[in-house]
Amino acid sequence: MNTEVTREKVLVIASEPDPVLGYRSFQFGGFKFTRDAYFVHVDWPKGTHTIEVDRFLRAMVRDIGWGFFYGWIFFDDVFGTQNHYGTVDIYAGAYSKGHKETGVDYLETFNTDDVRVAFETISKDWINEGYDPLSAPLETGSPLGAKQQEASGPLIRGFEPARRMLGLPGDVQPRSDESGHPINRAFADMEFDHPDIEVEPGFEDQVHAFNLFDHIARADVTWNPSFTSITQACICCVTSEEHMLPVIHGNDRNEWFIQLTDEIHWNIQDKDTGNPRGRIVMKSGDVCAMPADIRHQGYSPKRSMLMVLENGTPGLDEKYANGELEPFPITASRW
């Protein structure tokens, strides 16, 4: 593999705007990013790759918002990032058999903050007002065409994590009409009420409940899990899902999905090769592990509610990578 490790600060370098379409190109380390009306073109020292612009921008803003998440974020089968929790790899073809065999694969390691700044800079230049890559396609405009007015809203939103549990005094609060989050059209048929809470004086920060479904139904973002409750390093995230997960996620640890409403169809691939392993359809009440040796990509025909359970213990990525932990959650002796 052709690799570069860059420990010193790397700045993203912007070109002058294209005279026809108005977008800038960007050089970041060995990678060059260019967009036109329909596509993003990624160039690196020995290769080039093209990604449809909507898919690229949907992936990039989530990668920023997730803090590069756990493990691998494949924008598609060729290009993506891997989080090392302090550094981030950007790769092209590094997990693609054809690219590796022909020697055109490339991977460069950067400091996390540098990648974040670079991705934010690129996204801001390439996202026009009226197009929101965090929204479902039915709820936003098109990213296609020439540069217009840059989007004025926040590039990322909806990622603020609860510290103990949503709604507790001093913690992040659930979404509401007052916070500017109406019930999404896809959940308008549901009834939402609030739990009845009786609290004895002095226990206001201990006796607590809220309507989790109401909180999810008000999400104005998709495929964007955010922390709702945390005990030790056990993290519960919830998210509303519609259309397709705009990345292929290869986790560096096991995670679990619990389908709360509706259904999601998951394509499962081998993490290293990308070869298909098959398909899982999860419906309301279904629980399924996503092992540490796969890539997965979800498709939600109707907006649905998904719960994700993660183990945030530091260093787990290395234990799975070196084989200290098996890449699936229920070991043989437990069956």
Between 21 and 287, CB nearer to another protein: 287
Residue with tokens 């945390």: 230
Between 36 and 263, CB nearer to another protein: 263
CA separation for the pair 181, 215 (Å, rounded): 9
Between 20 and 207, CB nearer to another protein: 207
- Shortest gap between Cβ of 67 and another protein (angstroms)? 20
333 phi/psi in degrees, rounded to 5: -70, -10
Contact 287, 257 (CB under 8 A): yes
Distances (CA, A) of 252 to 3, 41, 118, 154, 325: 20, 28, 24, 29, 11
Site size toward another protein (CB under 8 A) is 79
Among positions 60, 134, 236, 248, the unique one binding another protein when judged by CB under 8 A: 236
Radius of gyration of the chain (CA): 21
- Shortest gap between Cβ of 167 and another protein (angstroms)? 9
**According to the binding rule CB under 8 A, does residue 279 interact with another protein?**
yes
- Shortest gap between Cβ of 103 and another protein (angstroms)? 30
Between 89 and 220, CB nearer to another protein: 220
Provide the β-strand partners of residue 88: 83, 110
- Shortest gap between Cβ of 176 and another protein (angstroms)? 15
Looking at residue 128, the DSSP 8-state letter turns out to be B
Per CB under 8 A, contacts with another protein among 159-198 are 164-166, 168, 185-190, 192-198
Among positions 199, 272, 273, 318, the unique one binding another protein when judged by CB under 8 A: 199
Among positions 63, 259, 295, 300, the unique one binding another protein when judged by CB under 8 A: 259
- Shortest gap between Cβ of 150 and another protein (angstroms)? 31
- x/- mask, another protein, residues 283-312, rule CB under 8 A, reads xxxxxxxxx----------xx---x-xxx-
**According to the binding rule CB under 8 A, does residue 231 interact with another protein?**
yes
CA separation for the pair 143, 153 (Å, rounded): 15
**According to the binding rule CB under 8 A, does residue 268 interact with another protein?**
yes
Between CA 185 and CA 192, with CA 187 as vertex, the angle to 5 degrees is 125
- Shortest gap between Cβ of 191 and another protein (angstroms)? 9
How many C-beta neighbours within 10 Å does residue 42 have? 21
47-54 CB contacts, 8 Å cutoff, 24+ apart: 47/92, 47/93, 47/99, 47/104, 47/105, 47/106, 49/78, 49/79, 49/92, 49/93, 51/75, 51/76, 51/79, 53/126, 53/143, 53/144, 54/133, 54/137, 54/142, 54/143, 54/144
- Shortest gap between Cβ of 111 and another protein (angstroms)? 29
Among positions 212, 221, 244, 247, the unique one binding another protein when judged by CB under 8 A: 212
DSSP reduced 3-state for 47: strand
**According to the binding rule CB under 8 A, does residue 241 interact with another protein?**
no
**According to the binding rule CB under 8 A, does residue 313 interact with another protein?**
yes
Between 245 and 282, CB nearer to another protein: 282
CA separation for the pair 149, 119 (Å, rounded): 19
Between 121 and 251, CB nearer to another protein: 251
Between 47 and 274, CB nearer to another protein: 274
Contact 55, 62 (CB under 8 A): no
**Beta-carbon-side half-sphere exposure of residue 289 (alpha carbons within 13 Å):** 11
**According to the binding rule CB under 8 A, does residue 273 interact with another protein?**
no
